[in-house]
Structure 1
Amino acid sequence: MWVFYLISLPLTLGMVILTARYFAGPEVPRYVFFTVGYTWFCSLAIIILVPADIYTTKFDLDRGGISFYWIWSYWSTFLLTWAVVPLIQGFEDAGDFTVVERLKTSVRANLVFYLIVGAIGLFGIILLIVMHKIRIGNVLAFAMACSNTFGLVTGAFLLGFGLSEIPKGLWRNSDWSTRQKVLSHKIAKLAVKLDDAHQDLSNAIMSKR
């Protein structure tokens, strides 16, 4: 089993690093790079954990270690999905000039989103309890099931989109004349957005003086 670990762990880690470096832009901050890399590693850790889990179950070995790694993988992915990654995404998208203000904007936007989702979820749980569909003791398990369902539905949606969009994009890009027209149209739109951004920046600088 140690041979499997010595092979699978470096391969998985190397695949994550190479993929992240390939898709990362030159100006991507390091904390974003490492966060994305750790997120991908937690997701791909199933390649290592599933065979290890089967091995320990088949030979009736101590499951303390594998249980710990399953819990680590699950809660790491959970926290990254619902807290860390949205916070970083909001921080990077914020247009404020200081780190503190950008962080406040990100926290505020995420709190609004989670309050709305939490209110809807709380209403649904109360409704199910009143209708005697679930018990109060099963609320945590129900919440975890909803979280897993959200992940599965999102993954299926993105996979379905990729299966149709990637071949479509390859088909369109094979025609160079059509590709040139599309890029020319995008350049014109980006030029307009760039001018608007410059104007907004000039107005913001003037208002700060």
Structure 2
Amino acid sequence: MWVFYLISLPLTLGMVLFTLKYFAGPEVPRYVMLTVGYTWFCSLSIIVIVPADIWTTINHIENGGISFFWSWSYWSTFLLTWTVVPLIQGFEDAGDFTVTERLKTSVHVNLLFYLILGAIGLFGLVLLIMMHKNWGGGVLGFAMGCSNTFGLVTGAFLLGFGLSEIPKGLWKNSDWTIRQKVLSHKIAKMAVKLDDAHQDLSNAIVVSILFQFPILRYPCFVF
């Protein structure tokens, strides 16, 4: 079994490092790369944990380490999915100028998302109570069912989108005539956006100059 560990662990870690190096841009912050790398390693850890769990079960070996690694993988993935990664995404998407304000914006956006999910879950709980259904799993079972349902629905939605959009995109890109029309349309839209951004920048420069030199707001005429 140690031979399997010596092969699978470096292989899994190498896959994570190679993928990070291949996809990450030079401007990606270090903490983002560390978080993404740890997240991918937790996801790929089943390559190591599942065969080890099967081997210990077949050979009737009591090994508390397997339970520890399962708990580590599960709770790490849980915290990363619902807390760490959403906060970092909101922080990076925020347009504020200070770290504190960007963090506040991220927390606000994620709290709003969690409140919506909580309201939906509360509505389902009240609906179950009103229907007088006999569900012996209790609140914990209901929460686990909601979590699994959310994961399955999200996975099915993303998988369905990928199965339809990826072949569709490849089919469109294979025709150079259609590709040229699409790119021409995108260029026109980007030109309009560039002009709007240039106008906003000019307005911002004028406003900043007026704030730096208040005397320019009240021009004096010397006769």
- After TM superposition, the score normalised by the length of structure 1 is 0.89
Q: Is the 8 A contact 1:129 1:136 kept in 2?
A: no
1:177 to partner: Cα distance: 2.8
1:93 to partner: Cα distance: 0.9
RMSD: 2.2
Question: 1:138-157 counterparts in 2 under 5 A?
Answer: 138-157=138-157
| Cα deviation 1:78-105 (Å, max 9, x = unaligned) | 1111111111111111111111111101
Is 157-166 or 184-193 further displaced after alignment? Answer: 184-193
Where does the alignment leave 5 or more consecutive residues of structure 1 unmatched? none
| Cα separation, partners in 2 of 1:56 and 1:85, compared to 1, 3 Å | same
Is 139-148 or 50-59 further displaced after alignment? Answer: 139-148
| Cα deviation 1:95-127 (Å, max 9, x = unaligned) | 111111111011011111111211221221233
Q: Is the 8 A contact 2:56 2:63 kept in 1?
A: yes
Q: Match of 1:102?
A: 102
State the alpha-carbon separation in 2 of the partners of residues 54 and 154 from structure 1. Answer: 29
Q: Is the 8 A contact 1:42 1:73 kept in 2?
A: yes
State the alpha-carbon separation in 2 of the partners of residues 200 and 83 from structure 1. Answer: 35
**Would you say how many aligned residue pairs link Structure 1 and Structure 2?**
209
State the alpha-carbon separation in 1 of the partners of residues 71 and 204 from structure 2. Answer: 47
| Cα separation, partners in 2 of 1:137 and 1:16, compared to 1, 3 Å | same
1:137 to partner: Cα distance: 6.3
Question: 1:24-173 counterparts in 2 under 5 A?
Answer: 24-133=24-133, 138-173=138-173
| Cα separation, partners in 2 of 1:47 and 1:140, compared to 1, 3 Å | same
State the alpha-carbon separation in 1 of the partners of residues 133 and 8 from structure 2. Answer: 43
Where does the alignment leave 5 or more consecutive residues of structure 2 unmatched? 212-223
Q: Match of 2:23?
A: 23
| Cα separation, partners in 2 of 1:37 and 1:196, compared to 1, 3 Å | farther
State the alpha-carbon separation in 2 of the partners of residues 177 and 73 from structure 1. Answer: 48
Is 143-152 or 71-80 further displaced after alignment? Answer: 143-152
Q: Secondary structure at the match of 2:102?
A: helix
- After TM superposition, the score normalised by the length of structure 2 is 0.84
Q: Match of 2:179?
A: 179
State the alpha-carbon separation in 1 of the partners of residues 125 and 177 from structure 2. Answer: 55
1:66 to partner: Cα distance: 0.8
| Percent identity for Structure 1 against Structure 2 | 81
Q: Secondary structure at the match of 2:177?
A: helix
Q: Secondary structure at the match of 1:62?
A: coil
State the alpha-carbon separation in 2 of the partners of residues 203 and 140 from structure 1. Answer: 55
Please say which structure displays the higher CA radius of gyration. 2
1:56 to partner: Cα distance: 1.1
